[in-house]
Structure 1
């Protein structure tokens, strides 16, 4: 048994270990996309380069980006989504992006003779009193996915519906005065915005086909 353990924890709990790795990868990928989209949303949500430095914004942490794009003080849905995402970032993204070492002292290693140091996670006794060798289970995965889906639905359908149509269409985004003025004018109605979007799609396709 010791030899098997020494060959890797995946031999003991293969499905749980694979699920853990996939969940951490999902979380990392999601926050990378979130930061990307927050930058792309700027021209559609009143970005003013004379008051905010674009380069500085790009270098901000995801939480700062979020709060500048979706103010959390005056927008209760934004605050609720931010808090949910922040918890996931702290518990999963930051912890496992730093070698499984979290800020709350719940990550430990215990030593097994003939095997070495094995990782374990202690829960909050007031919440779920248990310890686990695999820090993420099916319920964790489903809960994370629900939070991500809820935020995506809010952005796509409520908070930035038209802007997300542009971004999800894969079109370039510009931060100059001309583009921001065009966007501001077009966003007065969905029909005007869709006309602008379709025109830009046409221009991109024309350039790709070299049909000048």
Structure 2
């Protein structure tokens, strides 16, 4: 056995010794148990947020007998506590402890010891988790619909606010005092109402920009998997560490069309002008938020004449025209990500599939796309069938 193998064996033995101390009274020597003759109670979800940690600890490290899956139950592990039968099972409706009636007063103690022991296992497997991440043996939850819905909500709210502001600005003063002072007062009142609604439009539009960039980051991560392109060693971590601009370059290719370059430049300008200042406490990368002291002159913006492009140059930082232009750029980016070589990956992403980055999964996405539309739909149907099977535990 290699030196690394010996070290791993020693670590495992130390883990088992620590677990034996934390799980005093527990044993893997379980008699034949009929689970239907045992009392059952739910284990608190906040104490065991990852039920699989119990399976790993009791089955894999401590050698408890287990069974599964069965109807509405994914797995069950069997042991004893002070000689009395006890079992833990994960079913559709949660994590359950099954125990003999003699242990009716021991639930809290059993649960406390298990929780304490799981904490040791978590520390033990952290290096394994890091290794698996580096190798790309991970799955990312596909929450695209949630991200897009948030973006569309704020976009819709901003659209409404700016339309309402435009109507209020055009409203004629209603009857009343027709003196010059009265007319001016009515006009100023209408202007004030219009500005208030424009302010609301600005708030919603900034929230929309932030939501879009979040959705874009999520979308790029999903699309990278669905392209099916193999990842080099540490490729997953390298890709995830890139910013959205670098990820776009990788997905779109080295030589995008002039139209695509114009769209991407528009995205960068939105990032610099709106997203960064409002997402990072008002600070602008080009020093536009800084008021620099110049002797005998006073203060001037740190970005000098580029301040004319700053969101703070206008009384309403993001107005109706800005909002409309931003939406047009976002729409163009959306088109870039669902055309040409990204059409197939986009379809898999849009179908709600949770992508995995291991070599076998990447190959399956590539094969599904290369097989054409029919093969992709068959792949999507099968994935949805398996997802529903495991979610509902219809074994």
TM category (shorter chain) comes to 0.7 to 0.9
Q: TM-score, normalised by structure 1?
A: 0.76
- For these two proteins, the number of residue pairs brought into alignment is 189
* 1:207 correspondence with 2:390: yes
Taking a change above 3 Å as real, the CA distance of residues 131 and 50 of structure 1, as seen in their structure-2 partners, is: closer
Is 2:349 aligned against 1:183? no
Say yes or no: does 1:74 pair with 2:255: yes
Secondary structure at the residue paired with 2:338? helix
1:103-122 superposed matches below 5 A: 103-104=285-286, 106-107=288-289
Q: Per-residue deviation at 1:134?
A: 1.3
- Pair 1:54 & 2:230 matched: no
1:21 aligned to which of 203, 214, 232: 203
Q: Distance in 2 between matches of 1:182 and 1:101?
A: 45
With over 3 angstroms needed to count, the CA separation of the structure-2 counterparts of 1:25 and 1:193, relative to structure 1, is same
Q: Structure 2, unaligned stretches of length 5 or more?
A: 1-191, 292-303
Separation in 1, partners of 2:363, 2:274: 40
Kept in 2, the 8 Å contact 1:20–1:134? The answer is: yes
Structure number with greater CO (CA < 8 Å, separation at least 6) is 1
Segment drifting more, 77-86 vs 10-19: 10-19
Query: What is the alpha-carbon root mean square deviation over aligned residues?
Result: 3.0
Question: CA 1:80 to 1:164, structure 2 compared with 1: closer, same or farther past 3 Å?
Answer: same
Q: Is the 8 A contact 2:266 2:329 kept in 1?
A: yes
In structure 2, C-alpha distance between the alignment counterparts of 1:193 and 1:63, rounded to whole Å:
29
Distance 1:52 1:69, change over 3 A: farther
Alpha-carbon separation, structure 1, partners of 2:240 and 2:263: 21
**Alpha-carbon distance in structure 1 between the residues aligned to 2:307 and 2:239:** 39
Aligned to 2:334: 152
Residue aligning to 2:378: 195
Aligned-pair CA distance for 1:28: 0.8
Q: Are 1:87 and 2:269 matched, yes or no? A: yes
Quick check: 1:140 aligned with 2:294?
no
Gaps of 5+ in 1: 1-9, 110-121
Match of 1:170 among 331, 337, 352: 352
